[in-house]
Amino acid sequence: MTLTKLPELVPEPVELPGHLAELRAEVREFLDAERDAGAWTPGADVWLSGWDADFSRRLGKRGWLGMTIPTEYGGHGRGALDRYVVTEELLAAGAPVAAHWVADRQIGPSLMRFGTEEQRTAFLPGIARGEIYFGIGMSEPDSGSDLASVRTRATKVDGGWSLSGTKVWTSGAHHAHAFFALVRTEPVDDENRHAGLSQLLVELDRPGITIRPIPLLTGAHHFNEVVFDDVFIPDERVFGSVGSGWKQVTGELAFERSGPERFLSTYPLLASLVGALTASGDVDAGTRREVGSLVARLWTLRRMSLAVAGALESGQAPELAAALVKDLGTRFENEIVDAARLLVSIPPDPGASSGFARLLADSVLHAPGFTLRGGTNEVLRGIVARGMGLR
Ligand SMILES: Cc1cc2nc3c(=O)[nH]c(=O)nc-3n(C[C@H](O)[C@H](O)[C@H](O)COP(=O)(O)OP(=O)(O)OC[C@H]3O[C@@H](n4cnc5c(N)ncnc54)[C@H](O)[C@@H]3O)c2cc1C
């Protein structure tokens, strides 16, 4: 067994070009004005729970969605690092970004990679305006980590495909316009389970689709079960090529796993914790050390995540580094919650109108999902181990 050296597998650190400081200042000014006007209340885990279509449209008008989409498709032809700066500011502010999140993060780039001209023209301009929202149609009742076992089936019919099966844990499907469904288009080949899978672009208002809520611990409606009963999908909604679903999905997951949302979900709680401790005026050395250690790790994670963004921008597919960021980052998000519970004696209160107690309650209730969504940490460690040559 050869153990590859980890440093060789992790992309080079990236320094943000100086001109992005101007963009960052613009975004901060916009967010300050929005907050001062009471347009929204800062939250934790906003990319999952902060659905606000009007806010997404306002971002679209500013040119801060579809930033990497070429201008001929309604985007802004900017780089991944420009987008990184905008997204980290939005997350740090706890702004309600959930409506456009999936479409902006992974559907736009996937459409540019594998979409037909007709699909790009139909969806990309609306994504960049913050008006078209997508979900993710991968997981099923018995297929989560092992996605190759999906049983939703598409059968060829005249002019298209007939789709039957069930997707589950589908975030925001009750609001979204569409998702890419990973489906089986050929029977399982035991020698190659990844073959025979395809992606279909499914508009969620098609006849035969039923969307049922699965309430969160908080009682909120975020997750759904999506049932297809002989749903007709025309040939022009096949995404990429028939049989290439596995390759396409793994490419999409690299975008899904490495962004700043994988370590900033509870950043507004950390900022509020520092505020609450400062206001108390009595911070002992142990507390300072603990908060200092969290902030130092935050900075390290940010450098790693930026390195992945830089590698994606230069056309690489840093799957192993993305898995590392997600594993370390989501555990860090949970540690912020633990520290906040221990260091400040205010009980979590979902009903609190502002501040620390409400952010803490949101974070406590959402924390169980951090290490699961987008691929569990155990599975990601498997990717890291294999990438290092361990089998
Ligand atoms: C907040 C949240 C939002 C989500 N949103 C979406 C969405 O929008 N669309 C969507 O398609 N899915 C979504 N999911 C589903 C998510 O992708 C799955 O929960 C995840 O992939 C795990 O699958 P599972 O729940 O079936 O668990 P399982 O795969 O059954 O895993 C159960 C346990 O076994 C462990 N395990 C499984 N395989 C291995 C292995 N090979 N090695 C070591 N350990 C292993 C896992 O780590 C886990 O602890 C969401 C989940 C959450 C929590």
pLDDT, residue 250, reads 84
Contacts for 289-295 with beta carbons within 8 Å, 24 or more apart?
290/339, 290/343, 291/339, 291/343, 294/270, 294/332, 294/335, 294/336, 294/339, 295/270
Which phi-psi region, left, alpha or beta, contains residue 281 (left: φ > 0; alpha: ψ -120 to 50)?
Answer: left
Topology of the domain covering 6-135: Butyryl-Coa Dehydrogenase, subunit A; domain 1 (1.10.540)
Question: What are the two backbone dihedrals, phi and then psi, of residue 251, each rounded to the nearest 5 degrees?
Answer: -65, -40
Q: Which residue has the higher pLDDT, 125 or 351?
A: 125
Specify the amino acid at residue 201: L
Length of the chain in terms of residues written: 391
Topology of the domain covering 137-244: Butyryl-CoA Dehydrogenase, subunit A; domain 2 (2.40.110)
**What separation in Å is there between the alpha carbon of 76 and the centre of ligand 1?**
34
**What separation in Å is there between the alpha carbon of 170 and the centre of ligand 1?**
12
pLDDT, residue 5, reads 59
Of 13-22, 160-169, 292-301, the least confident: 13-22
Ligand 1 proximal residues by C-beta, below 6 Å: 48, 135-139, 144-145, 169-171, 369, 372-373, 375-376, 378-379, 382
Report the DSSP beta bridge partners of residue 160: 157, 234
Name the residue of 146, 169, 199, 262 to mutate for ligand 1: max ligand atoms within 8 A of Cβ: 169
Dump pLDDT digits (tens) for 93-102. Answer: 999 999 999 9
For the chain, the structural domain boundaries read 6-135, 137-244, 249-387
Name the residue of 372, 381, 383 to mutate for ligand 1: max ligand atoms within 8 A of Cβ: 372
pLDDT, residue 282, reads 81
b/e per residue, 264-299, with b = 16+ CB within 10 A?
Answer: bbbbbbbbbbeebbeeeeeeeeebeeebeebeebbe
| Banded pLDDT at 2 (limits 50, 70, 90) | low
| Banded pLDDT at 1 (limits 50, 70, 90) | very low
Dump pLDDT digits (tens) for 16-39. Answer: 999 999 999 999 999 999 999 999
Dump pLDDT digits (tens) for 297-349. Answer: 999 999 999 998 888 888 787 888 889 999 999 999 999 999 999 998 887 78
pLDDT, residue 62, reads 98
**What separation in Å is there between the alpha carbon of 149 and the centre of ligand 1?**
13
Q: Which residue puts its alpha carbon closest to atom 23 of ligand 1?
A: 144
Mean pLDDT of the chain: 93
Dump pLDDT digits (tens) for 174-217. Answer: 999 999 999 999 998 889 999 999 999 999 999 999 999 999 88
How far, in Å, CA of 89 to CA of 197, rounded?
A: 37
Is residue 3 pLDDT above 60, yes or no?
no
Q: Rounded mean pLDDT of 369-380?
A: 93
How far, in Å, CA of 60 to CA of 75, rounded?
A: 10
Q: Rounded mean pLDDT of 254-260?
A: 80
Is residue 289 pLDDT above 80, yes or no?
yes
Choosing from 89, 256, 261, 319, the catalytic residue is 256
Q: Which residue puts its alpha carbon closest to atom 35 of ligand 1?
A: 378
- 256 catalytic? Reply is yes
Q: Are 162 and 232 in contact (CB under 8 A)?
A: yes
**What separation in Å is there between the alpha carbon of 204 and the centre of ligand 1?**
23
Name the residue of 145, 211, 223 to mutate for ligand 1: max ligand atoms within 8 A of Cβ: 145
Of 89-93, 164-168, 258-262, the least confident: 258-262
102 Cα nearest atom in ligand 1: 8
366 Cα nearest atom in ligand 1: 1
The answer to whether 137-244 and 249-387 have equal CATH topology is no
pLDDT, residue 312, reads 81
Q: Which residue puts its alpha carbon closest to atom 44 of ligand 1?
A: 378
pLDDT, residue 8, reads 63
3.40.50.300, 1.20.140.10, 2.60.40.1080, 1.20.1420.30: CATH of 249-387:
1.20.140.10
pLDDT, residue 106, reads 92
